[in-house]
Structure 1
Amino acid sequence: MAQSKDPTGSGERARIGGAMRIDPALVRELAQLLTENELTEIEVADGDRRVKVKREPAAVIGAAPAAAAAPALSAPPMHAKEDIGEPTEEVAGTSVKSPMVGTAFMSPEPGGKPFIEVGDAIKAGDTLLIVEAMKVMNPITAPEGGVIKKIMVADAQPVEFDQPLVIIG
């Protein structure tokens, strides 16, 4: 039997008799990263060993707090953008972008009145929406006063870093 490196750090060979040895602590750590960062899949490679941990959105339906978020996770972001209208021409104004990866919420509580609507007059410092990241609610505030020209995201939609959220004119 050929000896191989110990990428798991467990003191055992990575392959025994052709079967891959999996480090349970590594898998648990990857699963925790999925949960903490609201990811659905993570993969790591170490030499010829690859470990992929994947979480299906349907798996969280059994948990009461996560059940409300499950439909947003299962809907692709393009669908949510289509619901609010994808712009076909440029809208003039200041684009407020997401400072982080997370989930955008348009109101302070589920079913509540949205912070903003198209046409609303706002002033610098007004809360436009909330981006939840790692269970922390981060208010996104207006950098300047003006009128809401376009809302680029839907409620409970996943957002990426630097993604346009709102246009102020």
Structure 2
Amino acid sequence: MARTPSKSSPKKPPQTSTAETKLVRELAKILNETDLSEIEMEKGTLKIRVARGGAAVMMSAPASAPMQTPAPSAAPAAATPPIASKPEAHTDAQKSPMVGTAYVRPSPEADSFVSVGDTVKEGDTIMLIEAMKTFNPIGAEKSGTILDILVEDAQPVEFGEPLFVIG
């Protein structure tokens, strides 16, 4: 009796949880709709980081559920407007502790917290950084005189970006 070879079906790639896929897609959507360059989220033992510029979406979970998903395509980050002085020239500048939008005044109709030439004390609020609809005060790390303000009002800033110089 002759046997006919059985047709083997093509192997399917392992499927990730639908909820996790939806979460990655939602984070990518938020990334595309904002000026952020990356979003990192932690939910229980699951950690997800989505970044612009071709970086991979990285997820980590307990060893029993390993997974990695390819990065969704993201539009390139918008160029930031030029500023008067070059921030990289200020190695002693106070840097942004987070990604967000910098505001140099408490409200649109108010004056700036400080101006170049003002004397400040350690802890004085110099500006605000809004991140996830929360306004975070950025205080002076030392006392002195404001030598330069390196960001414009309502300018997006990255983690570690120079903000201002106190001399």
TM-score range, shorter chain: 0.5 to 0.7
* TM-score between both structures, scaled by the size of structure 1: 0.62
Give unpaired runs (5+ residues) of structure 1. Answer: 11-22, 57-72
Secondary structure at the counterpart of residue 115 of structure 1: coil
TM-aligned CA deviation for residue 55 of structure 1: 6.2
TM-aligned CA deviation for residue 51 of structure 1: 4.3
> Partners in 2 of 1:162 and 1:137 — Cα distance?
18
- Which of residues 6, 15, 22 in structure 1 aligns to 2:14? 6
> Partners in 1 of 2:71 and 2:140 — Cα distance?
42
Question: What amino acid is the match of 2:100?
Answer: G
Larger Rg: 2
How do 1:56-95 and structure 2 match up within 5 A? 74=78, 76-77=79-80, 79-81=81-83, 84-86=84-86, 94-95=92-93
1:54 is aligned to 2:74 = yes
* TM-score between both structures, scaled by the size of structure 2: 0.63
> Partners in 2 of 1:143 and 1:3 — Cα distance?
58
* 1:44 aligned residue: 57
Percentage identity across paired residues of the two chains:
34
Give unpaired runs (5+ residues) of structure 2. Answer: 1-8, 39-50, 59-66
More helix by share: 1
Equivalences, count = 134
Call closer, same or farther: CA 1:148–1:9 in 2, change over 3 Å: same
